[in-house]
Structure 1
Amino acid sequence: MSTDYLKRILTSKVYDVAVETPLDFAPQVSARIHNNVYLKREDTQAVFSFKLRGAYNKMANLSPTELKRGVIAASAGNHAQGVAMSARRLGCRAVIVMPITTPQVKIDAVRGFGGEVVLAGESFSDAYEHAKELEKKEKLTFVHPFDDPDVIAGQGTIGMEILRQHPGPIDAIFVAIGGGGLIGGVSAYVKQLRPDIKVIGVQTFDSDAMARSVKAGRRVTLNDVGLFSDGTAVKQVGLETFKLAREFVDDYVHVDTDAICAAIKDVFQDTRSVLEPAGALALAGAKRYAAANKWKDKNLVVIACGANMNFDRLRFVAERADVGEAREALFALTLPEKRGSFLKLCEAVGNRSVTEFNYRISDADQAHVYVGLQISSEAEIEKLAANFRKKGFPTLDLTSNEMAKTHLRYMVGGRSALADHEMLFRFEFPERPGALMKFLGAMSPDWNISLFHYRNQGDDYGRILVGIQVPPADKKAFKDFLDGLGYPYWNESDNPAYRLFL
């Protein structure tokens, strides 16, 4: 079997449509993790992923009769584009069954290549079952996304290119795993020619069928799979890919959504390209594995396997990247509901950059504040929490709390019976440490902050929304305070949205 794959890879027909992609050094992420990281840029293929290789190699080896009947495939999106583009090149019909969760950018791309799209099921496995039914019904030729020797060999050409492009020492190659076609092909080639190189599979905690299968010694079927990394959301790996993984893959590493978001940001900073979650999975794994094993000055190759990202998803990625990179810590702090408490809290924060601040008055005795702080390492989180508790603020660490990160941060607020004489203002101020302290320090202790929202958006100017309880007799003094701040401001007290919700 092993020799057969070497021959299949060396004689693969992928270069009729695919290109040899660059192996780029990533200087910023390399410096940060103290290892040499090289990105195998499969996002630069015509379909923005590696899947074109395997799809075309399979279809180019079909008989004229099989091609004439047309082909069918099941895919979360990237294999679909590879099949559709290959079909257009080979002049045959292509029907693609995709999960209903597939990003629109991938659906549009398949249609753009002339593929016929059928949406069915919520995961690849569901789409696969529907595709098998259509295969029999319409007598089409099935092009499997991963469990096929010709597909696996096509993906294996990536391993061939890596060894040719980097003839020097390579300590490890990190590969994202869905069904296993990519790691099957890459490991089959690399481990036979360079057995000293570790091949390490990367999966998400909620879609790790391969790691579980290898551990169990048999293919395991997951009941559900996480869909953030939709390109690797596979409930059961292939029979052939499972065999190859057992023989050639050295180790596995798991990562979460935040780590993937951080890796997407890392690649953007080094290349100005935006990978999809599955495309950044290998880098997230490389960072985690290197840290866990205390690696330093190693040569790590990471396969950046796809860039078919829905633009709308970028908002979520940007929100979570800092937590994934251990650059942001999130806390729920409790402080006495009395004048001066905000200022005392700011003094406890010190010169550290505040990334988020959410608060709404709700209790006469205690205030609960949602705070985000910039950090440089995970070790700082507990130190910060201990410092807040020491200063008299009961503290709950929310950095790993999925509900808090996904929902709660946007829901701090609501109407309050305690917010009498409240005025609502928007402010803009230069985004630099100390601006918030300047604001609070200039404010009279007789005026109570009843609402506060701030989130660092990465702009030059910060934007805050503040509710301040100002007695009617203090209106002139308050106006003088506003003008003396030197920050642009807008009175939102009559905003209908404020009246409706706050």
Structure 2
Amino acid sequence: MRDCQDTRMLEDTVKKILQARVYEAACETPISPASFLSRRLNNRILIKREDLQPVYSFKIRGAYNKMAQLSEAQKAKGVIAASAGNHAQGLAMAAKLMGVKAVIVMPRITPDIKVQAVRARGAKVVLRGDAFSEALEHARELIAEHGYTYIPPFDDIDVIAGQGTVAMEILRQHSGPLDAIFVPVGGGGLIAGVAAYVKYLRPDIKVIGVEAEDSACLKAAMAAGERVTLDQVGVFAEGVAVAQIGEVPFAIARDLIDDVITVNTDEICAAVKDIFEDTRAVSETSGALSLAGLKKYIQQTGAKDETLVCINSGANTNFDRLQHIAERTELGEQREAILAVEIPERPGSFKKFCKTIGKRMVTEFNYRYADTEHAHIFVGVQVKPGGDDRRAVIDKLRESGYPVEDLTDNELAKLHIRHLGGGRPRKHFDEEVYRFEFPERPGALMNFLTHLPADWNISLFHYRNHGAAYGRVLVGMQVPNGDRTHVEEYFDDIGYRYWKESENPAYRLFMA
């Protein structure tokens, strides 16, 4: 039973959604049936197409509605935001339509395609800092200097009301049975608006938040009973890469949502492919998040013959990212197993190995001669979804006498080892191996090297650009014994995210 204060907050939020001014800038987006996916998963799956907004994301709704509430004096001084994503483009377009000056402060690592998109919509772009926090601090300085009005991306009731019009459209467009709506979660503005409207009118419909597992700030807050700040935030689904759920969104949504589901990188990539196959739309990773959660919900609950809606929140993706996304889709669908297998180093071994796995597609095979007795192969094998077939392949190989290591869920193997050549060094030496996320900007590598002591030797280096704000880097270092216990102190000073991989089986089998 909700108390009076909660009921009043819910009613006030719904009233603001009904009064929201969004259609001077946004359009009413359609709901597309996902016919192929529906047949495959035995449920009726519908996709709310916010990727079809003029700025290719739902963010135009909240930005415009917030600006519509400003006084003439506030508009005359201009508006400002710190953003590297869809909020920046939504605010730029809203300001242009209203004839208001807009300043967007973006981190220097923001991909150029996003910078140009904001400028093309008439906003002034200021590049400052390497992280969002630095851009936000500079925005505050400009507010103090010029009197701009700050337009927040999610932590504001008028922004939430604008985003809530998505739910208003869903219930109007689909008046029949509806079991659940899946909503991508970053700062929480969208799910707060959707949950408020849906639960007020149709409390029987489940509202389920979906987060990337490495930026699950809402799930953490729900578990703690209060907002928490994540120590680290993953950036693959950059549109939802938020360390703390918004205060206002959490106050509204915490007692309204039915569940929060988290998904990994591979599951997100598979959902991007699913959306493309059913709609021919290329979703951004955070846009496909809700479908990834919907699929996981079906897998976990065994749901059948239900009507489920997911919100494709945006399509602002860099073309360069598509190669990496395509690499991970089969893993996300559990249709590929990545294995490290030891076979005898003698003629005919590969043929015998292929005969053992039977009539299965070998999707990848990497091998380099290492010694006269044994060979370690890095192999991809096509399997049936669900996990049972993968286990059957592994069991069959082991029964045939092959030592096998399952690397299907090993990030080091998927990001780096499968792309590295050269094999092991000729002589043994001690090496510390770490995986990093480097900001994609000039000087990032030099900054890293400058912080390392002069007597450390770089023994391994592999870099991959995924068309995102951060590149993935694998580094091996020969570290003098006196520095071994202080390695991570040096890395903490640099400020890049890192993971120790010296004992990772993929590294030990193929590179050590």
The bucket for the TM-score relative to the shorter chain is 0.7 to 0.9
TM-score for the superposition, normalised by structure 1: 0.81
Deviations 1:152-207 (A, max 9, x none): 00000000000001101111100011000000111110100000000000011110
Residue 307, structure 1, aligned to residue 315, structure 2: yes
Deviations 1:287-324 (A, max 9, x none): 11111111111111000000000111111100011101
Contact 2:357 2:396 in 1 (8 A): no
Residue 10, structure 1, aligned to residue 18, structure 2: yes
Query: Within 2, Cα distance between the matches of 1:246 and 1:416?
Result: 54
Query: Within 2, Cα distance between the matches of 1:78 and 1:201?
Result: 19
Query: Within 1, Cα distance between the matches of 2:18 and 2:354?
Result: 63
Alignment of 1:75-474 (within 5 A): 75-377=83-385, 378-414=387-423
Q: CA deviation at 1:261?
A: 0.4
Aligned residue for 1:477?
A: none
AA aligned to 2:50 is E
Query: Within 2, Cα distance between the matches of 1:284 and 1:39?
Result: 12
The answer to which of 139-148 and 112-121 deviates more is 112-121
Q: CA deviation at 1:415?
A: 8.7
Runs of 5+ in structure 1 lacking a partner? 418-502
Aligned residue for 1:446?
A: none
Contact 2:179 2:206 in 1 (8 A): yes
Residue of structure 1 aligned with 2:56, choices 37, 43, 48? 48
AA aligned to 1:167 is S
> Helix, strand or coil: the match of 2:215?
coil
Runs of 5+ in structure 2 lacking a partner? 1-8, 427-512
Deviations 1:256-283 (A, max 9, x none): 1110000001001111111111100000
Contact 2:340 2:377 in 1 (8 A): yes
Deviations 1:370-389 (A, max 9, x none): 11011122221111111111
Contact 2:269 2:285 in 1 (8 A): yes
Query: Within 1, Cα distance between the matches of 2:131 and 2:309?
Result: 29
AA aligned to 2:191 is I
Contact 1:124 1:233 in 2 (8 A): no
Query: Within 2, Cα distance between the matches of 1:415 and 1:384?
Result: 27
Contact 1:261 1:321 in 2 (8 A): yes
Number of matched pairs: 417
> Helix, strand or coil: the match of 1:311?
coil
Deviations 1:224-271 (A, max 9, x none): 210011100111121100101212111100001110000001001111
Return the index of the structure with the highest Cα Rg. 1
Change beyond 3 A, Cα 1:282–1:126 = farther
TM-score for the superposition, normalised by structure 2: 0.79
Aligned residue for 1:451?
A: none
AA aligned to 1:141 is T
AA aligned to 1:399 is T
Aligned residue for 1:449?
A: none
Query: Within 1, Cα distance between the matches of 2:129 and 2:210?
Result: 25
Contact 2:336 2:380 in 1 (8 A): yes
Contact 1:261 1:318 in 2 (8 A): yes
Query: Within 1, Cα distance between the matches of 2:69 and 2:308?
Result: 34
Q: CA deviation at 1:120?
A: 3.7
Contact 2:384 2:390 in 1 (8 A): no
Query: Within 1, Cα distance between the matches of 2:244 and 2:73?
Result: 31
Percent of aligned positions with the same letter in both sequences? 55
Deviations 1:91-115 (A, max 9, x none): 1111112234433322221111011
Contact 1:125 1:235 in 2 (8 A): no
Contact 2:183 2:310 in 1 (8 A): yes
AA aligned to 1:246 is R
Query: Within 2, Cα distance between the matches of 1:80 and 1:326?
Result: 36
> Helix, strand or coil: the match of 2:214?
coil
Query: Within 2, Cα distance between the matches of 1:346 and 1:67?
Result: 69
Query: Within 2, Cα distance between the matches of 1:90 and 1:292?
Result: 47
> Helix, strand or coil: the match of 2:236?
coil
AA aligned to 2:417 is L
AA aligned to 1:178 is G
Contact 1:198 1:250 in 2 (8 A): yes
Contact 1:123 1:233 in 2 (8 A): no
Aligned residue for 1:478?
A: none
Query: Within 2, Cα distance between the matches of 1:123 and 1:262?
Result: 29
Change beyond 3 A, Cα 1:100–1:277 = farther
> Helix, strand or coil: the match of 2:286?
helix
Change beyond 3 A, Cα 1:155–1:124 = farther
Q: CA deviation at 1:124?
A: 4.1
Change beyond 3 A, Cα 1:84–1:201 = same
> Helix, strand or coil: the match of 2:80?
strand
